């Protein structure tokens, strides 16, 4: 596994690859969800490159940039076991040098919905770094997880809007035995707290059962979700969205092709999950 620390090194490596290159961008603290993206890349591409970079541009001042989980030793071991070809680990000064004033101004209609209402800065920072990574890596394919459903849809649209010649794949959410969606932020929780956090998935599955039983009124579905989450002490709902899976426009009546997504706080830790009906 080749370790690349500079943009120049990454570009030089890429220049020598005359084949398909799959790209999996991450912020580290790798788990089985990330590793599943790598497996998908290896199934579709001859070479696979993973990036590890905690992007400060997507964190607001009151968010967890300084405490975001960092497990670089374990990450390296996992990547070596996966037999990937290269890992790109740039520094902040490499990605955002002081003398580089170029502004990335891309935006699409999905930015300010769902997550964008709670974290208005977020997708500006995400698209800025992903576009920069795309320009550096020049992948033929890229792989994102369905857990971050809105992010995946925004990046997919950005690829189309900016004419990147990249094949985009959304890969299924990976869960623990009790249904909790795997997330780097789960590292903030001990084992007992992670078991409690399964209430998020259980509450989403309650919504799914209610829909299957004929309840399509969005207000009533949201009330049921809220009550379910609050039944577990320490948890509170940031939002439950029931929206069109493509436009992310909020619905009043649930219908096939709906994205049901939630953000839930456990104390100060924010966890997200979703399913498509």
Instruction: Give the count of beta carbons closer than 10 Å to the beta carbon of residue 219.
Output: 10
Q: How far apart are the C-alpha atoms of 87 and 263, rounded to whole Å?
A: 31
Which secondary structure element, helix H or strand E, spans residue 55, and what is its range?
none
Element (H, E) at 149: helix 149-161
Q: 41 and 19 in contact (C-beta within 8 Å)?
A: no
Q: What is the rounded distance in angstroms from the CA atom of residue 169 to the CA atom of residue 149?
A: 12
Element spanning 158, H or E: helix 149-161
Among candidate residues 134, 82, 144, 77, the one with its CA nearest the CA of residue 104: 134
User: How far, in Å, CA of 76 to CA of 64, rounded?
Assistant: 23
CB atoms near residue 82 (< 10 Å): 18
Residue among 31, 34, 40, 141 flagged as catalytic: 34
To the query of whether residue 34 is one of the catalytic residues in this protein, the response is: yes
Residue 150, both tokens: 């809105």
Structural contact between residues 225 and 237, judged by C-beta atoms closer than 8 angstroms: yes
From the centroid of its chain, how far is CA 97? 25
The answer to whether residues 174 and 33 touch, using CB atoms and an 8 Å cutoff, is yes
Helix H or strand E segment including 49 = strand 47-52
Cα dihedral angle (21, 94, 106, 104), rounded to 10 degrees? -140
Please list the active-site residues.
34
């Amino acid at each position: 596994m080749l370790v690349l620390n500079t943009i120049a090194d990454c570009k030089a490596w890429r220049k020598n690859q005359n084949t398909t290159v799959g790209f999996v961008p991450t912020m580290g603290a790798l788990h089985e969800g990330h590793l599943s993206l790598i497996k998908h890349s290896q199934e579709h591409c001859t070479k696979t490159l993973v990036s590890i970079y905690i992007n400060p541009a997507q964190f607001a001042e009151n968010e967890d940039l300084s405490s975001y989980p960092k497990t670089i030793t374990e990450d390296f071991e996992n990547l070596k076991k996966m037999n990937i070809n290269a890992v790109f680990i740039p520094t902040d000064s490499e990605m955002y040098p002081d003398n580089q004033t170029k502004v990335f101004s891309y935006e699409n209609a999905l930015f300010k919905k769902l997550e964008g209402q709670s974290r208005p800065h977020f997708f500006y920072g995400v698209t800025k770094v992903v576009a920069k990574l795309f320009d550096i890596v020049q992948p033929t394919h890229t792989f994102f997880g369905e857990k971050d459903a809105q992010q995946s849809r925004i990046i997919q649209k950005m690829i189309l809007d900016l004419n990147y010649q990249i094949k985009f794949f959304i890969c299924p959410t990976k869960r623990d035995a009790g249904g909790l969606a795997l997330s780097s932020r789960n590292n903030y929780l001990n084992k007992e707290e992670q078991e409690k956090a399964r209430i998020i998935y259980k509450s989403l599955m309650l919504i799914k059962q209610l829909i299957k039983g004929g309840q399509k009124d969005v207000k009533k579905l949201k009330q049921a979700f809220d009550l379910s989450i609050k039944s577990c002490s320490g948890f509170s709902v940031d939002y439950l969205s029931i929206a069109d899976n493509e436009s992310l426009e909020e619905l009043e009546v649930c219908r096939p092709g709906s994205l049901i997504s939630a953000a839930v706080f456990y104390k100060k830790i924010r966890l997200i999950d979703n399913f498509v009906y």
